[in-house]
Amino acid sequence: MRVLMKIKRFNPERDRAPYWAEYEVEVEPVDRVLDALEYVKWHLDGTLTFRRSCAHGICGSDAMLINGRNRLACKVLVKDLGSPITVEPLRGFPVVKDLVVDMEGFFAKYRAVKPYLINDELPPETERRQSPEERARFDDTTKCILCGACTTACPSFWANGAYIGPAAIVNAHRFIFDSRDRGAAERLAILNTRLGVWRCRTIFNCVEACPRGIDVTRAIAEVKRALLFSGT
Amino acid sequence: MTTVHRYDAVIVGAGGAGLRAALEVAQATPRVAVVSKLYPIRSHTGTAQGGIGAALGNMEEDHWEWHMFDTVKGSDYLADQDAVEIMCQEAITCVYELEHWGLPFDRTPEGKIAQRRFGGHTRNFGEAPVRRACHAADRTGHMILQTLYQQCIKHEVQFFNEFHVLDLLLEDNICRGIVALSLADGELHVFHAKAVLFATGGFGRMYKVTSNARSLTGDGVAIALRRGIPLEDMEFFQFHPTGIYKLGILISEAARGEGGILRNRQGERFMERYAPTLLDLAPRDIISRCMYMEIREGRGIEGKDYLHLDLTHLGREVIEKKLPDITDFARTYLGIDPVREPIPVQPTAHYAMGGIPTDVRGRVIRDEKNTPVLGFYAAGECACVSVHGANRLGTNSLVDILVFGKLAGRHMAEYIRGADFAPLPKEADGPAREECERLLTSNGAESVARLRETLQREMMDKAAVFRTQEGLETMLATLKELKDRYRRIRLQDKGKIFNTDLQEALELGYLLDLAEVTVVSALARRESRGAHYREDFPKRDDAQWLKHTLAYRINGEYELRYKPVVITRFQPVERKY
């Protein structure tokens, strides 16, 4: 099938402002949007620039705005979108070139929540025990691939780029509710600020955007509740 | 302007092997940098699904000696048994270490790490499948990569993200650093180092149907070859039996570990005829060959080149809880619900057993006498220790990256303490700069994409699961022609900022070199062993070929030498499952 790709492009070495470019591509209905982008790059215009790696929704490289929604280009099929397909870079991050955005700020916020197990007790020689129920408590938030789809879909983040954002909160949640972790108080203190968890207005865009099906708003709500009951 | 950095240790690649090594080195020196062409946590370790093998014995009796036997037998007796012994012992410590760092393994009712069955892993030296693969649903690799990266953040390891390695600085058998291209601004950076580790992953992109990420183009392996390091056992490339038809996306062996069955067009469980004891959990080389035999005899589904992976008898609960990601893949990419319908699968290029030769401390060796190159290390899929021999068992790639990432890091830390910075070569960035310039200014009519498509299609046809002298010779001629055409490419993007057109051209150059070594090594090996199956020499020939290949490139020509296999506990016998 033939599909019209409308791609928002910007090359700082050449362009003063972003512009829309259009490409007719020949694709199979079961092709991914990533396949269509690669068709453009490989057969029509080698300067088109985007990130991609695993091409099946695990590495998190190719989150972008597709037909107005944040998705991974490798996880949405052309047949489910029809024609035209519009593709833009994620909103709210500086554009490096075409669909490539600068993720440094995003990762800095991830690092800010201390996303590693905090526990200074001497571990046993074998594994620490954890019941299946304790393990299930934080299962959902272990799925995060740090693609940035949730944070850049969040109106609170658009309004204030200093907001720590749903992705960082999800990763804090992953440790706060891990029975082996002892760092909950430190992390909750980091999130208990004006630019922390309270900036979430429960708009649910993040849930819709998450390509891993994480119930992001619920995770944020659980962190808020932990704060209310922790007395910090 | 080229920027020069100075670090005690530079690690190239931020997958499991690179990060595990970085953590080990970071205990000895804060001057360690990880250089990766991807953002952290984008590396391919994250796509590993089913589990990591370690004889914890949490669900039933198990011993590292059994794991060792399975690995050696699975390797078709080509693995070096001293290395396998270390790997299977250390696997246990490495898994506990990950748990202590917070890896969210699935749990048994008593709260221990849960384990499942996997291909080729058996109890009591081959009696029956054993539960050895420690897992976190079917996203074990994702959890490993995340956990290691989290620890790197904790230990403040320094990262250079989206830096593409271009050259290894090696003179007089002493490694002095690397040259890398910063994608963000197109500038070259020299990393002056006492020790360098390559953990750059595999090169499955030389094949058309592959489970490998776009980024797996063998950069480090090709660069080592160009710098005079031989490559070991490159003729052995694993095809995983269950890739999603046409797409190659992996459907984990855990699907069969949980009870999934392969069926042909008659609905027959054909593995009963080929491997009566282990059935669908026979090693990958064997199952992939059997699948092709079924297809050749017209028993593919609808007579086409695929078969069915049937999970329907497992029930919704098992499928959705234990295999959630692959269920999602089937639903997303095929519109198939594995709870109700079988999944169309075909073998997919998955794993390079061969690579940069190293000893068990991760030191790169440069000849058949195991002479180490000072300050140069390799670990993970880009390396060949060799623990996988002619065929890797499922879960053992994760074991390999952890154990040998750690051991390489440990030796690097020791080496750094006693070594000085060897001087950089004059104009250290010269060759890398020339290579980029040549690609950017090349003004022919050839397209990188078209050359790569031809390479992938022809390799799939002539150097995949079945090989013949004639096919390999044709492939060698095709490669000569492709390399010639590669000199006449034309890039459309001539810019500095994030030039992925240039990056893809560099990567094609690596793939062409590695395809050539693969074919040259495969042509020479006139026997069938593990993943290397020669239709014209269908038997294993221990008298002639129980040895490792070392392929050198000298002035554009290949020279093959061989080195003996280390055999300690298990004498080679015929492989039956």
Q: Is the previous residue joined to B528 through a cis bond, with omega within 30 degrees of 0?
A: no
Nearest by CB to B498, which of A59, A97, A129? A97
Residue B387 in any domain: the answer is no
Contact between chains at A47 and B107 (C-beta distance less than 8 A): no
The CATH number of the domain holding residue B329 is 3.90.700.10
Note whether A200 and A156 are within 8 A (CB): yes
Residue from B43, B40, B35, B38 nearest B179 by CA: B35
Count of domains observed in chain B: 2
Measure the CA dihedral B189/B190/B193/B195, to 10°: 80
| Helix and strand totals (H; E) in chain A | 8, 7
- The pLDDT value given to residue B40: 87
Q: Which residue in A has a C-alpha nearest to residue B491's C-alpha?
A: A46
Same domain, A83 and A112: no
Average pLDDT for residues B491-507, to the nearest whole number? 98
Per DSSP, B446 falls in state B
- For residue B542 the two structure tokens come to 């221990």
Mean pLDDT rounded to a whole number for chain A: 96
* Statement: the pTM of the whole predicted model exceeds 0.90: yes
pLDDT at B1: 76
A125 in the same domain as A30? no
Any residues with CB less than 8 A from the CB of B363 and at least 6 apart, and which? B372, B373, B376, B377, B408, B411
A96 and A125 in a single domain? The answer is no
Q: How confident is the model at residue A207 (pLDDT cuts 50, 70, 90)?
A: very high
Structure tokens at B319: 């499928």
Chain CA centroid to CA B359, Å: 17
Q: Is the Cβ pair A131, B249 closer than 8 Å?
A: no
Final residue of a structural domain among A79, A101, A123: A101
Read off the amino acid at residue B3.
T
Question: What is the CATH number for B495?
Answer: 1.20.58.100
- Domain membership of residue B493 as a residue range: 430-541
| Residue B65: pLDDT band with limits 50, 70, 90 | very high
Structural contact between residues B379 and B405, judged by C-beta atoms closer than 8 angstroms? yes
pLDDT band at A217 (very low <50, low <70, confident <90, very high): very high
Tell me whether residues B498 and A116 touch, CB distance under 8 A.
no
In tens, the pLDDT along B66-106 reads 999 999 999 999 999 999 999 999 999 999 999 999 999 99
Average pLDDT of span A47-67: 98
Examine residue B460 and state whether it is found in any structural domain, yes or no.
yes
- Asked whether residue B32 is domain-assigned, the answer is no
Q: Does B317 touch chain A (CB under 8 A)?
A: no
- Among A27, A47, A53, the residue to mutate for chain B (most B Cβ within 10 A): A53
pLDDT at A231: 57
Burial (Cβ within 10 Å: 0-12, 13-18, ≥19) of residue A180: buried
Mean pLDDT value of segment B31-46: 96
- Checking if the pLDDT of A232 tops 60, the result is no
**Cβ-defined contact of B111 to A131 (cutoff 8 Å):** yes
Residue B211: what are its φ and ψ, rounded to 5°?
Answer: -85, -5
Answer whether B292's CB lies under 8 Å from B466's CB: yes
Predicted confidence (pLDDT) per residue in B396-441, tens digit: 999 999 999 999 999 999 999 999 999 999 999 999 999 999 999 9
Last-in-domain residue among A101, A133, A155 = A101
B184, closest residue in chain A (CA to CA): A96
Model confidence pLDDT, tens digit, residues B442-486: 999 999 999 999 999 999 999 999 999 999 999 999 999 999 999
Is A103–B492 a contact, with Cβ atoms under 8 angstroms apart?
no
Is the preceding peptide bond at B40 cis, omega within 30 degrees of 0?
A: no
Q: Are B268 and B262 in contact (CB under 8 A)?
A: no
Give me the amino acid identity at A54: C
Asked if B418 is an interface residue toward chain A (Cβ–Cβ < 8 A), one would say no
Q: Longest Cα pair distance anywhere in chain B, in angstroms?
A: 67
CA separation for the pair B148, B101 (Å, rounded): 8
Which of B136, B213, B491 is nearest residue A53 as measured by Cβ atoms?
B213
Q: Are A117 and A224 members of one domain?
A: yes
The residue-averaged pLDDT of B365-373 equals: 97
The pLDDT of residue B121? 97
Instruction: Using the 3D structure, point to which of A70, A101, A132 is the last residue of a domain.
Output: A101
**CB-based contact (8 Å) between A165 and chain B?**
no
Q: Identify which of B483, B492, B531 has the alpha carbon closest to the alpha carbon of residue B510.
A: B483
User: Does A96 share its domain with A135?
Assistant: no
Is there a contact between A47 and B495 if contact means CB atoms under 8 Å apart?
yes
Among the listed residues B442, B446, B443, the one whose alpha carbon sits nearest the alpha carbon of residue B454: B446
Asked whether residue A129 falls in the same domain as residue A166, the answer is yes
Residue from the list A54, A139, A175 with its beta carbon closest to the beta carbon of B47: A54
Residue % of chain B over a pLDDT of 70: 100
And the tokens for B15? 């997958």
Determine whether the interchain pair B213/A42 forms a contact, defined as Cβ–Cβ distance below 8 Å. no
Give the H/E segment covering residue B503. Answer: helix B500-524
DSSP code of B76?
Answer: T
Q: Does A96 touch chain B (CB under 8 A)?
A: yes
Question: What ipTM, to 2 d.p.?
Answer: 0.97
- The 10s digit of each residue's pLDDT in B123-174 is 999 999 999 999 999 999 999 999 999 999 999 999 999 999 999 999 999 9
Cα distances (Å, whole numbers) of residue B50 to A214, B115, B223, B318: 21, 10, 31, 14
Name the residue range of residue A63's domain: 2-101
Q: Are residues A195 and A114 in the same domain?
A: yes
Q: How far apart are CA B350 and CA B249, in angstroms?
A: 10
Q: Rounded distance, CA B125 to CA B128, Å? A: 9
Whether residues B434 and B536 fall in one domain? yes
Residue A27: which of A48, A46, A4 has the closest Cα?
A: A4
Amino acid at B393: L
CA B356 to chain centre: 11
Residue B43 CA to residue B35 CA, distance in Å, equals 12
Number of domains in chain A: 2
A188 and A108 fall within a common domain: yes
Residue B361 annotated as catalytic: no
Any CB–CB contact under 8 A between A223 and chain B? no
Please identify which residue in the block is written with the tokens 């031989």.
Answer: B230
- Nearest Cα of chain A lies from the Cα of B216 at a distance, in angstroms, of 9
Q: Across residues B20-32, what is the average pLDDT?
A: 96
Q: How far apart are CA A232 and CA B375, in angstroms?
A: 50
CB atoms within 10 A of CB B46: 25
- What is the arithmetic mean of pLDDT over B233-238? 98
Is the Cβ of A80 closer than 8 Å to some Cβ of chain B? no
Mean confidence (pLDDT) of chain B: 97
Of residues B117, B139, B263, B284, which has the active-site annotation? B284
Q: Which two tokens stand for residue B394?
A: 């499922």
Nearest CA in chain A to B156: A111
CATH number for the domain harbouring residue A77 = 3.10.20.30
Chain A to chain B Cβ contacts (< 8 Å): 152
Are the Cβ atoms of B106 and A126 closer than 8 angstroms? no
Within chain B, how many helices (H) and strands (E) appear?
Answer: 16, 22
pLDDT value at A230 more than 80: no
pLDDT-derived band at B117 (thresholds 50, 70, 90) equals: very high
Residue A224 shares a structural domain with residue A126 = yes
How far apart CA B218 and CA B512 sit, in angstroms, is: 10
Q: What would the 3-class secondary structure string for B234-263 be?
A: CCCEEEEEEEECCCCCECCCHHHHCCCEEE
Could you say which of B330, B348, B366 is where a domain stops? B348
- Domain final residue pick, B348, B373, B407: B348
Residue B536 in any domain: the answer is: yes
Question: What is the least distance, in Å, from the CA of A58 to any CA of chain B?
Answer: 6
Domain co-membership, A168 together with A205: yes
Cβ atoms within 10 Å, residue B303: 9
Q: Is A47 helix (H, G, I), strand (E, B) or coil?
A: coil
Chain B residues 126-185 within an 8 A CB cutoff of chain A: 136, 139, 142-143, 146, 150-151, 153-154, 184
Q: Are residues A161 and A186 in the same domain?
A: yes
| Residue numbers in A near B47 (CB within 8 A) | 54, 56, 58-59
